[in-house]
A and B are shown apart, each in its own frame.
Chain A
């Protein structure tokens, strides 16, 4: 059997594809990569289709041993990549052989990196996706994070193109960022003053920031009522519970809930926020749904038009 053995799983390494869609009606959330852009690049640099199964490494600490020849790549947060002890470039595919040791060190900037392999990891789908959601116990290997001794199957390397992304196209990760938000949902429950407060204040990422949601801390924002009849929660929705502290709901969010929401963050920016560690500062900028749509389409076109350099 060809693949990779997990020598050390790291703090939180999860098997992910693009996510699980179409199953909200039985209460299943989406899962999938928190930073979809870095995930897409990882797969593209080893010439995989966009929805191929890869690993999301949070913070770092992953060590694998190759038991097959393959092209691998690491994209996303600045986690040092070593192959057999020698540091290697990220955003750059590398050929590994059976017996090689691959180490993903701890991040110096950013929180999530994606390790993709030529042809993808071969993981059984559950509800049409391999995405791991630990809260649900669904996806990956029995719904859990990667464990020491796990074996990640993949096909032996055949003819496979590989690429590197030139430096000028690699994203930078910062500590203090502005995140774009569309007002919506119960925005009418927030007075003009409360909205101004929200959009002009600085918030801090707390240590209660995970794949379900990022809890932020800052000036209290109060809606005119505390609870609503439970309703569907979309990706990026910003709910404000009674304590007035915003929670931005992410990939592993509950599908319905009853807290008032001021609006939603655009997905380009939830990806940037998910790269932040506790203590980072964020502020919000209001944009229209048309602007959000245009930004998304522009990013899509730019991604497709950015040509990585072929190296193999």
Chain B
């Protein structure tokens, strides 16, 4: 049963104190679940030797303390852990529902995206909010969760010229990924709406409502509900 799991998993040197484990080459919930399992096990197996880990779609970066261990030992521990992984199901992360106000004032790219897809705005909203997404990775900026995958019909390439200012809470699509901007930042993703839930709040505990492996659904709300939940339109440049 485990033979298949080990198949194709590669460990490469990343840097002087970092190895990267490749579990697959494509976005796949089962691969992502294996990455999550490996994070949990390696945390204890490498206790006292680990500096940090970066799980992503199909890979895991393992950063270790060069004064406590070396690449050969870390590599052999990774090999051992990879051999223990279960033939993963897609995993059962928490289901988190995020309110979403879809509208042209909140999502300036919504109409263009619909036109491009030859769909109505309502159909785009339906396709985006009916899908259950998985948190594949968190990065780019604090709290920026990469969610996948959106229905092929509403996949859209990044803007050719990124915006200088995307508001906090912006719900966006790039290729088959979707995300909620955790803070005001530049960005080249297609904006389709706004979420009033804060995706990253240093003062809050936990600081993020989601973690890698969680399942996300967007729940369409009205403009009034959006403001009632503390949402703000923010400035778009």
Contacts and interface: CB of A to CB of B under 8 A. Distances in A.
A235 interface: yes
B142 A28 contact: yes
Contact of B142 (A27, A184, A185): A27
Given A185-B20, A229-B26, A256-B54, A234 B12 contact: no
B129 interface: no
Contact of A234 (B58, B63, B139): B63
Given A137-B183, A264-B15, A293-B71, A256 B139 contact: yes
Among A27, A126, A230, A235, chain B packs the most CB atoms within 10 A around the CB of: A27
Contacts of B138: 25-27
B109 to A, nearest CB: 21
Contacts of A85: none
Interface stretch (B94-102, B117-125, B200-208, B214-222): B200-208
A257 to B, nearest CB: 8
A300 B137 CA distance: 34
B61 A231 contact: yes
A45 interface: no
Contacts of A285: none
Given A256-B139, A297-B66, A25 B15 contact: no
Q: Tell me what chain B mostly uses at the interface: helix, strand, loop, or mixed.
A: loop
B148 to A, nearest CB: 11
Nearest to B203: A126
Contacts of B61: 24, 231-234
Contacts of A300: 67
B164 to A, nearest CB: 15
A174 interface: no
Interface of B: 12-18, 20, 25-27, 39, 51-61, 63, 66-67, 70-71, 137-144, 146, 183, 200, 202, 207-208, 211-212
Interface of A: 21-28, 30, 126-127, 135-138, 182-185, 229-237, 254-257, 263-264, 266-267, 289-290, 292-293, 296-297, 300
In the complex, the 7 A-B pairs of residues with the closest C-beta atoms, listed nearest first? A232-B61, A232-B54, A256-B139, A264-B15, A184-B13, A234-B18, A234-B15
